Amino acid sequence: MAAKQLKCRECATEYPLEARYVCSRCFGPLEVKYEHEPIADVGSVRRRIQAGPQNIWRYHDFLPLEGPQPQTRTGLPAGCTPLIRADRLAERLGLGEVWVKNDAHNPTHSFKDRVVSVAATRARELGFDTLACASTGNLANSVAAHGAALGMDSYVLIPADLEEQKQLATAIYGTNLVKVRGNYDDVNRLCTELSGDRENWAFVNINMRPYYAEGSKTVAFEIAEQLGWEIPDRCVVPIASGSLYTKIAKGFEEWIGVGLLEGAVPVMNGAQALGCSPVASAFEQGKDVCRPVKPDTIAKSLAIGNPADGPYALDLARASGGSIDAVTDQEIREGIRLLAETTGIFTETAGGVTTAVLAKLAARGDIGEDERVVLVITGDGLKTLDAVRDSFSAVDVEPNIDSFEAAFAARGVRV
């Protein structure tokens, strides 16, 4: 495989490709380092990718796995989600060209299946038989489902106040669902402590985090491939820990590096909910670290008050000429509705955040008319039904035509 070592992002110390996530010298995060052979024939590599399976394993050469390409008819293959041209959304916002990367089309209806597929496959390679995670909900669904698909035990720790839909869609897979009386950051702290003492558990976003995070690069690979091997001008991506946001940029960067793509990393816009916006606040204040906050937002899947990749997200926003913006809960609800009404895509609250930030950037005049913009939608609206409850009313009628017509007449509408 092209992956060679784990390398500390802070002090560059290198480690073997094992279940390790933090540098023992400086506590910095470890990242997978690759040594790719230069690609002599770009066309043939592109054709090989295109002939690959309809899931993330088509990008196997760029993922940190030792074995051959994983069996694609077993497990829970993720990825190859639609990239939809959203002309009605663009028109509504006065923009030229907007595309929606709809990652709700994954096996458990969020982008988390990409990262869990990579982490779980690597965990098996390293000999683990148990998966675990700290989750704001989408990860919970995915870890429980991957555990079931791969025949691995799983322990899923969530904040006790998580949306009911996300709890049900986790427990059904037969996992050990643990509701922690606290917020996500409390859950994460507990899991970090647990992971130190349970060395036979693969916590996908703790001791497997370097591998897990690499799965997010496949969002960038797919966008480029779906755009005909081109890089968009701008991506709007939600930020919770900052891992997806930074790894999408890394995906483009790696493919530019090996010659599969030409151009530069897109302008990267990060999206947060105002009720949990440590990265947006630090961006606005010109700081390079985030001050932790106590989340209070309907966007629970983004409610990480102490984001692990916050510093790197800030670096990326500034280096790419982007920004990190925050929107209110009301704007999030409007964002969900805007996307639904203009594209037919019903997204969860995180997608409402992302869509609302796109609207904000458009209103602010940050986006040029000729720009090709990709909006990354990370999860399905059925996961957060409470966010849209009571936001519309149905027309109640008796089963006869008179009642039907009277009901609409009462609303002043002829049908």
Partner 1 sequence: MAITVKLPTQLRDLAGGAASVEAEGDTVGEALESVFAKHGELRDRLYEKSGALRRFVNVYVGGEDIRTLDDLDTPVSAGAQLTILPAVAGG
How many CB atoms sit inside 10 A of residue 35's CB?
9
| 289 is an interface residue for partner 1 by CB under 8 A | yes
- Bridge partners (DSSP) of residue 270 are 237, 324
Q: Return the residue matching tokens 């799983």.
A: 154
- Is 19 a binder of partner 1 (CB under 8 A)? no
Q: Hey, what are 61's tokens?
A: 């050469």
In whole angstroms, how close is the CB of 29 to partner 1 at the nearest point? 4
Query: What does the per-residue mask of binding to partner 1 show for 233-252, with x meaning CB under 8 A?
Result: -------xxxx---------
Would you tell me the crossing angle of helices 138-150 and 164-171 to the nearest 10 degrees?
10
d(CA 207, CA 141): 19
CA–CA distances in Å: residue 379 to residues 25, 61, 258, 350: 37, 26, 31, 7
Which of 31/61 has CB closer to partner 1? 31
Rounded to a whole number, what is the distance in angstroms from the first to the last CA of the chain? 63
Among 12, 18, 26, 160, binds partner 1 (CB under 8 A): 26
21 versus 346: smaller Cβ distance to partner 1: 21
Pairing of strands 83-85, 130-134: unpaired
Asked whether the beta carbons of 290 and 310 are under 8 A apart, the reply is yes
> How many helices and strands in the chain, by DSSP H and E?
14, 13
Distance of alpha carbon 208 from alpha carbon 188, whole angstroms: 14
The residue (of 65 and 279) whose beta carbon lies closer to partner 1 is 279
**By CB under 8 A, which span of 26-34, 92-100, 255-263, 376-384 interacts with partner 1?**
26-34
Q: Does 293 bind partner 1 (CB under 8 A)?
A: yes
Least distance to partner 1, CB of residue 47, Å: 35
CA pair distance 246, 415, nearest whole angstrom: 50
Minimum distance, C-beta of residue 357 to partner 1, in the bound complex (Å)? 18
Residues 300-339 that bind partner 1 (CB under 8 A): 304, 306-309, 311
25 binds partner 1, rule: CB under 8 A: yes
* Six-digit token string for 91: 């028109």
For helices 112-125 and 138-150, angle between their N-to-C axes, nearest 10 degrees: 40
Among 102, 167, 188, 347, binds partner 1 (CB under 8 A): 188
* 7 lies in the site for partner 1, by CB under 8 A: no
Nearer to partner 1, 207 or 342 (CB): 207
Structure-token match 């790719």, residue found: 36
> Is 321 buried (19+), middle (13-18) or exposed (0-12) by CB count in 10 A?
middle
Could you say which of 4, 33, 46, 189 contacts partner 1 (CB under 8 A)? 189
Q: Does 211 bind partner 1 (CB under 8 A)?
A: no
Q: Does 193 bind partner 1 (CB under 8 A)?
A: yes
- Of 206, 260, 316, 338, the one binding partner 1 (CB under 8 A) is 206
> Taking CB under 8 A as the criterion, which residues in 108-167 touch partner 1?
134
Q: Walk across the sheet containing 234-238 and list its strands.
A: 83-85, 97-102, 372-377, 234-238, 267-273, 323-327
- Using the contact rule CB under 8 A, the part of the chain among 51-59, 123-131, 164-172, 186-194 near partner 1 is 186-194
User: Using the rule CB under 8 A, is 410 a contact of partner 1?
Assistant: no
Rounded distance between C-alpha atoms, residue 126 and residue 354, angstroms = 36
Q: Of 90-98, 220-228, 286-294, 394-402, which segment contacts partner 1 by CB under 8 A?
A: 286-294
Work out how close the CB of 373 gets to partner 1 at its nearest, in angstroms, rounded to a whole number. Answer: 24
Q: Of the candidates 52, 53, 96, 182, which one interacts with partner 1 according to CB under 8 A?
A: 182
Count of residues in contact with partner 1, rule CB under 8 A: 41
- With contact defined as beta carbons under 8 Å apart, do 238 and 354 qualify? yes
State both tokens at 211. 């591998």
Least Å distance between CB 288 and partner 1?
9
- Phi then psi dihedrals of residue 32, to 5 deg: -75, 135
Q: For partner 1, which residue of 192, 226, 281, 328 counts as binding (CB under 8 A)?
A: 192
The residues of the shown chain that bind partner 1, judged by CB under 8 A, are: 10, 21-22, 24-29, 134, 182, 184-186, 188-189, 191-193, 195-197, 203, 205-206, 209, 240-243, 289, 291-294, 304, 306-309, 311
